[in-house]
Chain A
Amino acid sequence: MKRMFFAVFGLGLLLGTAVGAEAGDPSADEIVKKANHIAYYEGQDGRARVEMTVTDAQGRTRQRVMTILRMNVGDDAEQKYYVYFHRPTDVKGMAYIVWKHLDRDDDRWLYLPALDLVRRIAASDKRSSFAGTNFLYEDISGRSLSLDTHELMGGDDKTYQIKNTPKDGNAVEFSYYVTWINKDNFVPVKAEYYDKEGKLYRRLEALETKDVGGYLTITKMKAEDLNAGSSTVALFSQIEYDIKMGEDIFTERYLRKPPLQWIQE
């Protein structure tokens, strides 16, 4: 359960084949396994209020405020999310449910209260925007780690640097990305994405980590789109772990009738 929101925000993308380990250091394989264990197999559930501020190239800002609920299902790394929008006021009550699978496409449902409509959302890939912010849907639900090969590129005193190369280059818009993982606690602190021309175009960063009830948690994150010149900062508050939500919350029925017990205004 520890560092749940790394998983939520996709910096701990460390499953899969590890190659290129150096002698002395743990191998990429080991780093990946550890980070993976920490990211996915501790704790059972949790909630947080998330405030995202998008700043565009002209310095204009817009906000999204939501509550995110998450729970793990069994030990197979399947997860369920519930995202409830508080603001902007016009979209209050909009809600997502995500069932994350490892072996197939995720299931996503969206509820639009103004039209009282529930729709399944499908996407050709997971690299679409999350609610118009600079975070991608994949940053939220996590990139399936078997999609990439991981390679330890070295690093410095404090971090390991791992190069992640997609096995199917045509499926995504990046050619590879590099993650920096803290040596002492295996917290991923930064990820940089390079386009097909090898130009850096996207960056994710953990700006602040706090101890929440014994769990080291990232409480401030930033996603930047270097092409568009825009960025999004996400602030996490009211974080709680192991609150024992029932799994039935993550069903279509609850989209229309939000679980107010876990979603405070």
Chain B
Amino acid sequence: MIDRIVDFAFKRPKAIFAIAGLLTFVALLQFLRIKIDTDPENMLPANEFVRRFHQEVKKEFTLYDYIVVGVVDESSPAGVFNPRTLEDVYQLTQAIGKIDGVVAYDMMSLSTKDDVQSDGAGTVRFQWLMHAPPYTEQDALWIRSRALANPMFYNTLVSADGKALAIYVPIKEKKISYTVAKKIGELTKAYRGGERYFLTGLPLAEDAFGHEMFVQMALSAPAAMLVIFLLMWVFFRNVRLVVLPLVMAMDVVILTMGAMVGLGFPIHIMSSMIPIFLLPICVLDSIHLLSDYYEEYRRFPNKEEAIRHVLRKLFMPNLFTSLTTVAGFFSLSFAPIPPVQVFGIFVAIGVAVAWLTTVLFIPAYVALLDASRLATFGVRHEENPTGPEHVILEFARHLAVDRWKLVLAVTVLTVAVSIIGLTRIKVNDNPTKWFSKKHPIRVADIVLNRHFGGTYSAYLVMEPRDKKEEVFLDPAMLEYIRGLQKYLLEQGSVGKSTSLADVVSKVYDELLGGDKKNGMIPPTKEAVAQCLLLFENSHKPDDLWHFVTPDYDKLNLWMQLTSGDNRDMALVVRQVETYFKEHPAPQPLIYHWSGLTYINMVWQDKMVIGMFVNFLGSFLIVLFMMVVLFRSPLVGLLSMIPMTVTIVFIYSTLGFFGKEYDMPVAVLSALTLGLSIDYAIHFIERSRQIYKVRMNWPDTAREMFGAPARALVRNAFVISIAFLPLFLSRLVPYNTVGFFMLMIMLVSSVGTLLILPAIISAAPRVVFGHLEPEKKVSRCACGECMLLAVMLAASVLYVLLGYSLTRWNVATVIAVFVVVVLAGICFIVGRLRNNRMV
């Protein structure tokens, strides 16, 4: 088959490139209707309960997603509460209100909020917190003291230390946050003084990330390409041949992304990473080919024969490395997360396209290439190999073949230590932390959460289990809610919470006046209702309806968290559960969560579990393919070892260094699996080819550590260096990708070059047994049968797991039973056949 492909490529090179060019053009045209989706909330399907509920809650309580503008001045005791800064804040609030997409009516700022106060002599006064900028220092401080005295503003609008204030900017749609924030940033530039302006908030972090991600992609993909080009040129010294893999990689990216856009999929945060994933995969394949071509070129009379030989030799490993990568990514399509599905499917398609272009383009390109251009190309075999590459590989060979016990001992030790690291992995995510610590959004996040009750919002919506009106006018119920708020504050995970109880007790306080202020709830339902009617006489009576529905049968408790970490949100959820369990409500309540912080936790949970299940699945699928490729379960299993060690090792470093298992890390597991199996495939396949000729392991090893190992090391070198620029990015996921690329290449190449030959040295027949026909009889068929049975059982279990995670039913039990029986039969048959053969 390979010959036919090569013949075709030789005969019609121009046709191949013409068709490819046409397809590329069509793919490029698709970009005209590109749609971009930067919202990580779309990790969940639009009809997911928590998302629908969030929309409902936002509508029912007139809530929005908020950008938080913080104004901080730590230089003086009065902080930002001086006439000049407040004048600026007043102007800024008005200017922000005019920005398109900002819901000016519901903006929270000193100048948009009404305050209720008493003078202690029987007068209750409603007054805007800052109707106009104050003229004197005293007036400014008076505004501060009023804001601090109001539980609705304390730690929300004004920081507890009185040095900072915040403006909460409600926006109509999350996807405009970045644009709105940019405009606000321009406005604040005009204000010069001791105070500093900060912008943060989850909607902004999410939207800004989406935007900056594309910029990063436009920067880092070409940068990686350039580095790859330079390194390959250093190795192969032929621009014409080195350009080809890059052109192919670019073409593959264009074709894949074009197909995706053309089919109407928006480019989501996930799919924007496709180029950076496809790039190393494409280049990997062609480096293997080129490297081998470079080694073999001078052995053959002409360029065509040389490429034919190389392709024939590398066809199977290339096919299988591509297939395993396809499998690894395709299995992402089982994930319950739409963007991950799209991502997985299109990376898989891209890899398939990459394989096709590799086997077609390279011979076609060689056919078109003027032979004179290759005059200086290739290794001159008369020369004795020298240089650092050679020295290192010889050392590795010596280590693996002669000191295999040491290598295996170190491997076992490494895995053991790594497992300790694995147990320390913390699953956590926070979109704000996708920015590096120097990024303005991250800086703002850190500063503002130090000053305020928290820039992360979550809403706990409660209603009576038995439909009943006006439940939340009941003083007992309000006391209960206040108890919950107090409990959460004491636990320390919620920085601030605001509820109807705060409104009622504030009004009641002011009604009682003077020294009777002690934050009590009025004694009767009527008194509560009357306090609230009084509140409704303020300038902003609608503020009430953020906390309760007008029929008082649904309550919204607004929580502010100083951290958007999923772990912290999950902790609050558990604390609320505990409170409800330990303190029964006066009326049985049902409750649901809402808010971006909570939504993030939900999709993160799904993502982590989904990716883990997928990873297990991919692992099994790849294992199965290895068994088919090598026609031996044992060799199949063997080929998985370097990859397994790589993965265990890389993920253990996360555990040891305290790097959290977040969205990018979860997605990278698929890449790790797809890339690090490649070397093992190449190694085993090539060493078996060599063994067929040499028929003994030491000679095979010597040849293996020549050209094939060089190809492998070059590969690892090029890819790991090429992605180093990603460490400069101010987006943390890009650093993570860079780190993973480096580690995957480093660990799996070292692992493959040391562990595999060490194991083979221990028992050469494991890999090469069937190549020696006379020894076939002695091989234990039942062992292999059992292995196969276990793999099959595992695959079946995986499918069951994948389709019904933890839901077990009769069918599941039967299936498992059938698998066990089948394995037993296989075992018996194998045994019988073995006996008969003996």
Q: Which residues of A contact B (CB under 8 A)?
A: 56-58, 60, 62, 85, 88, 90-91, 94, 110, 112-115, 117-125, 127-132, 137, 170, 196-197, 227-228, 230
Residue contact B533 to A91, C-beta cutoff 8 Å: yes
Q: Collect the chain A residues with CB atoms within 8 Å of residue B531's CB.
A: 112
Shortest Cβ distance from B504 into chain A, in angstroms?
12
Residue contact B537 to A131, C-beta cutoff 8 Å: yes
Q: How many B residues face the partner with a CB closer than 8 A?
A: 45
Total number of A-B contacts with CB less than 8 angstroms? Answer: 103
Contact status of A56 and B545, CB under 8 A, knowing A91-B530, A114-B522, A120-B123: yes
Q: Give 11 A-B pairs besides A90-B470, A91-B529 with Cβ atoms closer than 8 angstroms.
A: A56-B545, A58-B60, A90-B529, A110-B124, A112-B531, A114-B530, A118-B122, A122-B123, A128-B538, A128-B539, A131-B536
Contact status of A115 and B533, CB under 8 A, knowing A58-B60, A120-B122, A122-B124: no
Q: Which residues of B contact A (CB under 8 A)?
A: 59-60, 62, 94, 98, 104-105, 114, 118-119, 122-128, 131-132, 470, 473, 511, 522, 524-531, 533-534, 536-542, 544-545, 549-551
Q: Collect the chain B residues with CB atoms within 8 Å of residue A132's CB.
A: 533, 536-537, 541, 544
Q: Collect the chain A residues with CB atoms within 8 Å of residue B533's CB.
A: 85, 91, 94, 131-132
Residue contact A124 to B126, C-beta cutoff 8 Å: yes
Q: Collect the chain B residues with CB atoms within 8 Å of residue A230's CB.
A: 542
Q: Collect the chain B residues with CB atoms within 8 Å of residue A125's CB.
A: 131
Shortest Cβ distance from B316 into chain A, in angstroms?
65
Q: Collect the chain B residues with CB atoms within 8 Å of residue A62's CB.
A: 550-551
Nearest 6 Cβ contacts at the A-B interface: A132-B536, A90-B529, A114-B526, A114-B527, A122-B125, A120-B123
Shortest Cβ distance from A53 into chain B, in angstroms?
12
A111 nearest in chain B by CB position: B530
Residue contact A90 to B122, C-beta cutoff 8 Å: no
Assembled-state Cα–Cα distance A90/B474 (Å): 11
Q: Collect the chain B residues with CB atoms within 8 Å of residue A115's CB.
A: 511, 522, 527, 530
Assembled-state Cα–Cα distance A128/B127 (Å): 9
A96 nearest in chain B by CB position: B537
Among B128, B534, B540, which residue has the most Cβ atoms of chain A within 10 A?
Answer: B534
Residue contact B526 to A90, C-beta cutoff 8 Å: yes
Contact status of A119 and B105, CB under 8 A, knowing A124-B126, A128-B538, A129-B541: no
Contact status of A119 and B530, CB under 8 A, knowing A58-B60, A62-B550, A124-B131: no
Shortest Cβ distance from B509 into chain A, in angstroms?
12
Residue contact B530 to A129, C-beta cutoff 8 Å: no
Assembled-state Cα–Cα distance A137/B126 (Å): 12
User: When the two chains form the complex, which single residue of B94, B119, B524, B538 contacts A129, counting CB atoms closer than 8 Å?
Assistant: B538
Shortest Cβ distance from B790 into chain A, in angstroms?
59
Q: Collect the chain B residues with CB atoms within 8 Å of residue A131's CB.
A: 533, 536-537
Q: Collect the chain B residues with CB atoms within 8 Å of residue A85's CB.
A: 533
Q: Collect the chain A residues with CB atoms within 8 Å of residue B131's CB.
A: 124-125
Residue contact A113 to B541, C-beta cutoff 8 Å: no
User: When the two chains form the complex, which single residue of A112, A120, A127, A128 contacts B527, counting CB atoms closer than 8 Å?
Assistant: A112
Residue contact B542 to A228, C-beta cutoff 8 Å: yes
A-B contacts, 14 listed (Cβ < 8 Å): A60-B550, A85-B533, A88-B529, A90-B530, A113-B530, A114-B526, A114-B527, A115-B527, A120-B123, A121-B123, A122-B119, A122-B125, A123-B125, A128-B126
Q: Collect the chain B residues with CB atoms within 8 Å of residue A91's CB.
A: 526, 529-530, 533
Residue contact B530 to A112, C-beta cutoff 8 Å: yes
Residue contact A129 to B549, C-beta cutoff 8 Å: no
Residue contact A128 to B537, C-beta cutoff 8 Å: yes
Assembled-state Cα–Cα distance A180/B795 (Å): 80
Contact status of A90 and B550, CB under 8 A, knowing A128-B126, A227-B105: no
Contact status of A117 and B536, CB under 8 A, knowing A91-B529, A112-B527, A124-B126: no
Q: Collect the chain A residues with CB atoms within 8 Å of residue B539's CB.
A: 127-129
Residue contact B98 to A197, C-beta cutoff 8 Å: yes
Assembled-state Cα–Cα distance A90/B122 (Å): 23
Assembled-state Cα–Cα distance A228/B539 (Å): 13
A130 nearest in chain B by CB position: B537
Residue contact A119 to B536, C-beta cutoff 8 Å: no
